[in-house]
Amino acid sequence: MSLKLLQLIAALAASAHGLVVPDSQGAAFSVDALLSTPEEFDPAAERQRIETRYPAMHGDIKEAGSVKPSSSGMSFFVPTVIGNQTFKMIYDTGSADLWVYSNESSPFQSLDHPTYVPTSSAELLKNYNWSIKYAFGDEVSGVVFTDTVKAGPVVAHKQAVQAATVIQAEFASDGILGLAFNTINTVQPKKQKTFFETLLPTLKKKVFAANLRLDGKPATWDFGYIDNTKFKGKVAYTPVVSQKYWSMNSSSYAVGKGSFTSSKKQVGEVIVDSGTSLVYLPEAVVNDYYSHIEGYEFQQGGTRTFPCNSTIPDFHFKIDSTTLSIPGQDVNYTVYDPANRLCAGAITTQLNSKYSVLGNLFMRNYYVVHSQEEATPKLGFAAH
């Protein structure tokens, strides 16, 4: 048995010890999120991949080229059982599709990935299909089943599972489990519920929380409850302003120890997206931030670099009366040019010149609550 398989089995066993509340008020559970191994990260590929989920307004500066491996992985994987198979999934708050590699895809396209084989628990939704378009015409598409999906101790029955028969893009994970709102689900002719929406009637609370962290403590996704042991102080909530994404309004911002900007210089609407690694902000905000870094350069292709020994300021922004921050040490996320000792910055310009996005580089500093307890969904933040 391979080392990778043993590690995955061990991880799944660990995640199965999640909290269950077996009372009439419903279930609550936690699953472990496993940090990916360091690998070459391509900011251009990430931008091209996620720009497809946020429709374009007009042209944008395109980044090109990969950078060296970061000191840690850029993604968090969750072992998840679909039917009777285990898949290494990314739990993605920026999309609403649950898809996996299918046994109907070509062996070349599914190389190094387990493939979904429908069993007796699965039912094909006849004449249903789905398709996600990526940059340069790449596509992931296929057919739709309903099946059991098990995360930790809890099973979602008759969950829509999108089996990918065409996979023209490369993914480190075995699939995606979307946690945005099903208004952006791509299944035709009828949109399908997300995993969270399927579980909602059974959960103790209509919440889930992303506890993505790099401080040596376990990273987790918590469903149906808020774990007060995983953060400090109180959770600060703000209303969600979209019926598609987990997004919020941010007002002023500050760089380092500087003052917060006036009302004329705002961040605006930002999407919190665990399926994205970096941070994408308005160009004026990005340029202002990097102007505070000595030796900053804008490289051909769009990557923003600076000497690796530079002092990198924190980035702060307001949601209502709460200040959230991205530490400067996180902005300096990887080496760009070892020979010249240049590092790359993780804060870059908006997607399609319209959408600001806070990826898991931001999320890993907070316990992030996604609540549907009230008519208007809310996002909540508490520092680790």
How far is residue 20 CA from its own chain's centroid? Answer: 25
- List all residues 6 or more positions away from 176 whose beta carbon is below 8 Å from its beta carbon: 89, 90, 92, 95, 97, 98, 99, 275
CB atoms within 10 A of CB 276: 27
DSSP character at residue 67:
B
Q: Which of 32, 147, 222, 273 is catalytic?
A: 273
CB atoms within 10 A of CB 287: 14
Using CA atoms, how far apart are residues 335 and 180, in angstroms rounded to an integer? Answer: 32
Q: What is the DSSP string of 211-227?
A: E---SSSPEEEEESS--
Of 210, 264, 261, 245, the closest CA to residue 356 belongs to: 245
- Is residue 115 within 8 Å of residue 52, measured between CB atoms? no
Q: Which residue has the tokens 């300021």?
A: 313
- Is residue 214 within 8 Å of residue 72, measured between CB atoms? yes
CA dihedral of 174, 369, 50, 327, whole degrees rounded to 10: -110
Q: Which residue has the tokens 């209502």?
A: 320
Active site residue 288: no
Report the phi/psi class of residue 8: left, alpha or beta, with left for phi > 0 and alpha for psi in -120 to 50.
alpha
Q: Which residue has the tokens 């946690």?
A: 179
CA angle (52 as vertex; 96, 303 as ends), nearest 5: 120
Q: Which of 32, 92, 174, 222 is catalytic?
A: 92
Using CA atoms, how far apart are residues 371 and 347, in angstroms rounded to an integer? Answer: 27
CB atoms within 10 A of CB 266: 17
Active site residue 92: yes
Enumerate the active-site residues: 92, 273
